[in-house]
Structure formats: C-alpha cells, structure tokens
Amino acid sequence: ERIFIGDQVIRVDVQSEEQIQLLQALETSQEWELDFWLHPVSTELPVDIRVPRSSLSSVKDYLQAHSIPFSVMIDNLQELLDEEKAEMEVNRMR
Amino acid sequence: ERSTRSFNFGAYHTLDTIYSWMDTLVAEHPNLITKQEIGRSYENRPMYVLKFSTGGSNRPAIWIDTGIHSREWVSPATGVWTANKIATDYGTDASLTSLLNTMDIYLLILTNPDGYVYTHSNDRMWRKTRSRNSGSICRGVDPNRNWDAGFGGPGASSSPCSDSYRGPSAHSEIEVKNVVDLIKSHGNFKAFISVHAYSQLLMYPYGYTCTNVPHQAELDSIGRAAVQKLTSLYGTSYKVGSICKIIYQASGGSIDWSYNLGIKYSFAFELRDTGRYGFILPSNQIIPTASETWLALKHIMEYVRDHPY
C-alpha cells in the first residue's frame, strides 16, 4: 500500500490574485509531486495541498518567500489513515 | 441472518460490503427496490443501480450518483444512508411517498468501483478510474472530465498523469458510458444529481463555459432554497452557483452533459468538510453529513415532482 508517513495537508487562505497565480504555478510544476485537494481559483475559497514529506521544506520555503500565509490542516496524513483503517477493522469484526 | 437494521451507516465500508448490503436492502423492500446491473467497470466489476419504483412504465425519473471520484468516501457513504432513508421513509413520509407514487429514483452508489477498491487496497488518495492509458505509465481518467460536454476544453488535462486527465475521447471510460447508455435508453429522466466531496457547494451547469444556462435563475433559486434547508439542521454553510463561477472552469463534467441532453434539473453537490480533514472526513460525520444533504436532496426532488416539463 502507498504510505503517507509525514505527508501534510496545508491550507492556504488566498488573499490576492497574485497569490493565486503563484499557487497555479506550483500546480503545474511536477517537481514536488503536490496533490491539490482544492485548487487555487478564487480568494473566496481555500486551497488545500497534500505535500509529500520530501517536499515539505521546499514548499513551505516557497510560500514564505512569497508571503503566502498557510496553516497545517493535517500534520501527518498516515496517522489519520491508520485511525480510519483501524476503525473499519473494528467495524468489520463487529 | 442479516438485516439492514444491524448495518452500521456511520462507518466506511468496502465495495463488497456495500454490494452485499444492497441485496439485503432489496430483500427487505422487494416491492419498492430493484438492483439493476448497468454494465461492468474497466476491471470487470459490476455496476449496480438501485431503482426505487412503485410501478408504472418508464415513469419520469430522478438520477442520483455518488462516488464518481474514488477518494471522496463520504459521497458513497451518503449514498448508502440515502438509499436506506428512501426505503424506510416510503409509506411514512407523505411527501416522499407521493413522489415515489409518480416518479422513480435511480441511485448509483459506487459510480467508480475500480477506483473505490483501489483506495481501499493501494492508494487512499486515488481519484480517477483505473483504465490503462496507451503510451503512458500513468493509469486512470478523471471520470468527471470524460463526458461529452465541452470535452477537451479548458479545465481538464490532456496528460494521462494528471488527476484531471480527460481521457482520449468523450465517454471513453466504460463507467461513464454505462451511465450515458442507461440515461439515454431510459429517455425520461427529469433530474440528474451528482454527489461529490468536499467544498460545501451546490452547483448547477455550466462548468465548461462561464455562460449562464437558459434556466440559470430557476436553478439558482432551487439551489438556494435547498441549501437553506440543508443549513437548517447543523448550520453547515454552502455556496450556490454555476460550476464555472463558484469553483473553476471544468470541461467534460457530468451535469453539463445531462443538462445539454435536456435534463433541466441538473445539480452537483460538494458535501461538507469541517475544514480539518478533507477527504479523510471521520466516519462519525457520515450520518450528520447524509442527514443534512437529504434535506437538500428532498427539496430538489419535490421541486422536480411539482414542476413537470
């Protein structure tokens, strides 16, 4: 199975058109293997990005360098998935 | 011995469990529900639609699909709860009963069975189908970019490695074609509702263009009234608008296709998120999500019943 240990989902509350364009540039780049859960389209909607552990520092540096505010929505994706899986297992046994 | 009463609607389930539960539901409501195989997936899994009908021949019908994107687990979980809700409320809820006395409801709970299985076995974050793409190592097509509605236009990718890959041609995905064939051969669908997760939106066409549809005002009004009812339960806030105007331009989407086919009441839901979990919405939120969604779904269905065309 694919493992998501250390992957984070970060939420960006986009504040300007310029920030949207910077995030769109990230979206087209395949270098950091980002998975956009919510896409950069409008200042009215948040942008959620799943960032592989290996790209975390690069992505955060990029956002900070462009003064794009973000918060960590999911700190370690694998933890949530493990909980989800354990819960399913308990339910199946029940 | 099994019963739908012992089924846990507040949990996520595998495809096999959901398919097995469908048989139980049908067995408990033999005069209301039938399970129809509408075709097979790319990996040869059956695709089952639950048909809720009290009789008649080719009655006007409402289409609801859930789970077209595999990782959006709360969508099919909501579909399961909704199927049970329709079954148990028929005969006790006067409005739903009157609806089912004149119309049929078709509910496709697992629209992308291969992808759903893959999210349970290999990659929880998988979104697309599992078809092979000629000349590429990347698999899968975004089944909500594959419909014949502005196919190939903006808001869909031509790269097989993209999560929004549109596929080589419209309806190239067998899962999409199975639905298209059923809707076309039936010919009397009056509503087409597709359920996604997660952004808390209720949308109507178009996605492939930002031009207003001819029925924009009516669809907007229905959507706002539906969302008002949804919000009344837990205060969940939704936005309402056309796909293009409230999210982004996206070509090849299912409700654009259904609208252009003549199904006026075409809507897409993006179900709730708490702002903390995205696609990993905890299972204890399935029933609240489904319960609030039901209020909006019911409003749309009642409107369709009361406004024949």
- Tell me, what's the pLDDT at B300? 98
| Average of per-residue pLDDT across B254-272 | 98
- Tell me, what's the pLDDT at A54? 96
A49 to each of A40, B38, B71, B178, B277, how far by Cα in Å?
10, 36, 15, 33, 12
CA distance B6 to A89: 16
Alpha helices, DSSP H only, in B102-215?
113-121, 174-186
The residues that bridge with A10 in the sheet, in sequence order, are: A49, A72
Band of pLDDT at residue B247, cut at 50, 70 and 90: confident
Q: Identify all chain B residues contacting A9, using CB atoms and an 8 Å cutoff.
A: 278
CA distance B162 to B47: 25
Coil vs helix vs strand at B140? coil
Contact at CB, B125 and A50, closer than 8 angstroms? yes
| Average of per-residue pLDDT across B52-57 | 96
Looking up tokens 């955060």 gives: A60
- The per-residue pLDDT for range B213-233, each reduced to its tens digit, is 999 999 999 999 999 999 999
Residue B1 has pLDDT above 70, yes or no: no
- The per-residue pLDDT for range A15-41, each reduced to its tens digit, is 999 999 999 999 888 889 999 999 998
- The per-residue pLDDT for range B232-245, each reduced to its tens digit, is 999 999 999 999 99
Residue A70 has pLDDT above 80, yes or no: yes
Band of pLDDT at residue B4, cut at 50, 70 and 90: low
Neighbours of B248 (CB within 10 A): 16
- Phi, psi of B38, deg, nearest 5: -100, 0
- Tell me, what's the pLDDT at A30? 81
Active site residue B270: yes
Please tell me the number of Cα atoms within 13 Å of B264 on its side-chain side. Answer: 17
Among A37, A42, A84, beta carbon nearest to B278: A37
- Tell me, what's the pLDDT at B2? 57
- The per-residue pLDDT for range B131-174, each reduced to its tens digit, is 999 999 999 999 999 999 999 999 999 999 999 999 999 999 99
Residue B248 has pLDDT above 50, yes or no: yes
The single-letter code of the amino acid at B241 is G
Please tell me the number of Cα atoms within 13 Å of B243 on its side-chain side. Answer: 28
Distance from CA of B241 to the nearest CA of A (A): 13
A8 to each of A52, A55, A72, B99, how far by Cα in Å?
7, 10, 7, 46
Coil vs helix vs strand at A75? coil
| Average of per-residue pLDDT across B11-38 | 96
- Tell me, what's the pLDDT at A47? 94
- Tell me, what's the pLDDT at B5? 72
Q: What percent of chain A has pLDDT over 90?
A: 80
Write down the ipTM of this complex.
0.94
Give chain B's contact residues with A (Cβ, < 8 Å).
Answer: 8, 11-14, 17, 121-125, 161, 163, 199, 239, 247-248, 275-280, 282-283
Provide the b/e sequence for B133-159 (b: ≥16 CB within 10 Å).
beeeeebbbbbbbbbebbbebebbeee
The residues that bridge with B64 in the sheet, in sequence order, are: B107, B193
Higher pLDDT: A89 or B83? It is B83
